[in-house]
Amino acid sequence: MPSLKSLRLRIASVKSTQKITKAMKMVAASKLRRAQEAAEQARPYAERMERMLVSLAASLPSADDAPRLLGGTGSDQTHLLVVATGERGLCGAFNSSIARAARRKAQELLGQGKTVKILWVGRKGRDNLKRDLARNIVDGFDFSKVKRVGFVEAAQVSDKILSLFAHGEFDVCTIFFNTFKSVISQVVTERQLIPLALPEATALPDLGGAIYEFEPDETEILEQLLPRNLAVQVFRAMLENNASEQGARMSAMDNATRNAGEMINKLTLVYNRTRQAMITKELIEIISGAEAV
Amino acid sequence: MADKVTFELVSPERVLLSVEAEMVVVPGSEGDFAVLAGHQPTISALRPGSIDVYEAGDRISSRIFVAGGLAEVSLDRLTVLAEAAERFESVDRAALGQRIAEATEAIEDAGADEVKRDAAETRLAYLQHIVETNTVN
């Protein structure tokens, strides 16, 4: 039977752990709200850009004229996987689930004899992938020093992707991130960025029968629009990720707090039993001592 | 048909401005153009310059600098997607010189990297536009 003192110490240590997890949960909750707001505010830009892209693509004279960012290189030999994760741990399966999805995809592609290159965004992705895919990692971005991820960071990532693409380093680019559904559910999403997969369902704006005029012309606008769109897609992935990370951390810390509470209850029970047993034992000793006299 | 255009200025991070205006002058890549209600649907690239919003009458009610972007006009609606935008009033004059020096340096640094040089040149053109507008007014 553990001694009373060691039990007391354990209870105290679990209690202080519980305090930490509780505080982390609260911090995550307030950060989550901010992250959700940021994601919401970024939506109009992405939506309008998508609409423009769809109208542009629809009015392109022929698919052959499409820039390579939209039409692709005509090959799918080399794949670039952009793995966007968080910078910190202690958020449940958030980071590892993204890494797992990316790893599965990488292995599938490697099995088909394709070349796989990996660009990590977020320290945890690198930590997770460098064990078995170290040779495939080409570069990465560590934003752990950045307090609030903004468009500037997303632009850095997309510039890197664009320059790799311009140098013919890859044919197909896919990004992995977590879509925020709710605090308890985040869905790992993979989205193809290059060549761009246009959403089918976007309705064209109603122009009352008129058609768009393009200035200068479709191809040139597309050439400007596509790199921007890439940055926006990366930005969106990062914002979604941010919200998901906070959500995941919140529920993980909530669980941890609850578990700590359970543990404290159990330990307190054992502690009280032990204490009573000791008292009983002492009483018996005194009584039997008195009887012997 | 409404006699006003809804003008929206959107940056990747949020909607910067959303107003009803009589006329908006936009720096298109092929030349400035004014958007009034009932304008022909257009999608145009923008060059670094300033957007002038006329909410009512002949006076410019707000002027915003943009470093390029895209404008979409559909019936009675003008949407400008811009990465960098600053209000005329809120430009920090003192910091301009410093920013121009940085942009010039970036052009030199870029060397053979075309993408980087283009970006830096756009930035410089944008800043120079701000300086010019500043001295005119």
Pair B71, B53 in one domain: yes
Choose, out of B1, B8, B13, the residue to mutate when testing the contact with A (most A CBs < 10 Å). Answer: B13
Question: In this structure, what token pair is assigned to residue A34?
Answer: 């901010």
| CA–CA distances in Å: residue A248 to residues A24, A104, A178, A182, B87 | 12, 22, 10, 9, 38
- What pLDDT band is residue B40 in, cutting at 50, 70 and 90? confident
Residues composing chain A:
293
Pair B9, B68 in one domain: yes
One of A56, A69, A91, A106 is an active-site residue; which one?
Answer: A91
pLDDT at A209: 62
CA B72, CA B78: separation in Å to the nearest integer? 6
Q: Percentage of chain B surpassing pLDDT 90?
A: 8
Pair B107, B82 in one domain: no
pLDDT per position as a tens digit, A168-219: 889 999 999 999 888 888 899 998 888 887 766 555 656 666 678 887 887 8
pLDDT per position as a tens digit, A2-24: 789 999 999 999 999 999 999 99
Query: Does A131 score more than 70 pLDDT?
Result: yes
Residue A173 known to be catalytic:
no
Give backbone dihedrals phi and psi of A160, rounded to 5 degrees, phi first: -65, -45
pLDDT per position as a tens digit, A19-44: 999 999 999 999 999 999 998 888 88
Query: Does B85 score more than 90 pLDDT?
Result: no
pLDDT at A10: 94
Residue of A nearest to B79 (CA): A48
In terms of pLDDT, which residue wins out, A21 or A226?
A21
Residue A127 to chain B, least CA–CA distance (Å) = 29
| Residue located via tokens 């990297």 | B113
Pair B66, B104 in one domain: no
| Class at the top of the CATH hierarchy for domain A29-250 | alpha beta
> What's the CA angle centered on A20, arms A85 and A120, to 5 degrees?
10
Pair B58, B79 in one domain: yes
In terms of pLDDT, which residue wins out, A291 or B101?
A291
CA A30, CA A32: separation in Å to the nearest integer? 5
- The residue among B78, B81, B85, B89 whose CA lies nearest residue B34 is B78
| Residue located via tokens 């283009």 | B118
Pair B28, B76 in one domain: yes
pLDDT at B1: 45
CA A256, CA A248: separation in Å to the nearest integer? 12
CATH number 2.130.10.10 is the correct assignment for the domain at A4-22+254-292: no
A159 contacts chain B (CB < 8 A): yes
| Cβ contact B70–A55 (<8 Å) | no
Interacting residues of A63 by C-beta distance below 8 A, sequence separation 6+: A71
The domains of chain A are located at 4-22+254-292, 29-250
Range of the domain at B70: 5-87
Pair B40, B76 in one domain: yes
Which residues of chain A have a CB within 8 Å of the CB of B28? 215
In terms of pLDDT, which residue wins out, A240 or A67?
A240
Residue of B nearest to A230 (CA): B12
Yes or no: say if B107 and B117 are a contact pair by the CB < 8 Å rule.
Answer: yes
- Give the pLDDT mean for A46-60: 80
Give the total number of structural domains in chain B.
2
- Give the pLDDT mean for A251-274: 95
**In this structure, are strands B15-21 and B31-35 parallel, antiparallel, or unpaired?**
unpaired
Q: Peptide bond before B27: cis, by omega within 30 degrees of 0?
A: no
Which residues of chain B have a CB within 8 Å of the CB of A215? 28-30, 42-45
Pair B61, B120 in one domain: no
pLDDT at A199: 66
Mean pLDDT of chain A: 87
CA A218, CA A216: separation in Å to the nearest integer? 7
What's the CATH code of the domain at B55?
2.60.15.10
pLDDT per position as a tens digit, A55-100: 777 777 665 667 788 777 878 889 999 999 988 888 888 999 999 9
Query: Does A257 score more than 90 pLDDT?
Result: yes
Mean pLDDT of chain B: 82
A163 contacts chain B (CB < 8 A): yes
Q: Which of A39-53, A127-141, B5-19, B115-129 has the lowest mean pLDDT?
A: B115-129
Pair B113, B67 in one domain: no
* Other C-beta atoms lying within 10 Å of the C-beta of residue A200: 6
Residue A25 to chain B, least CA–CA distance (Å) = 26
Which residues of chain B have a CB within 8 Å of the CB of A202? none
In terms of pLDDT, which residue wins out, B121 or B50?
B50
CA dihedral sign of residues A280, A286, A290, A293: positive
| Cβ contact A52–B70 (<8 Å) | yes
Yes or no: say if B114 and B43 are a contact pair by the CB < 8 Å rule.
Answer: no
Query: Does A275 score more than 90 pLDDT?
Result: yes
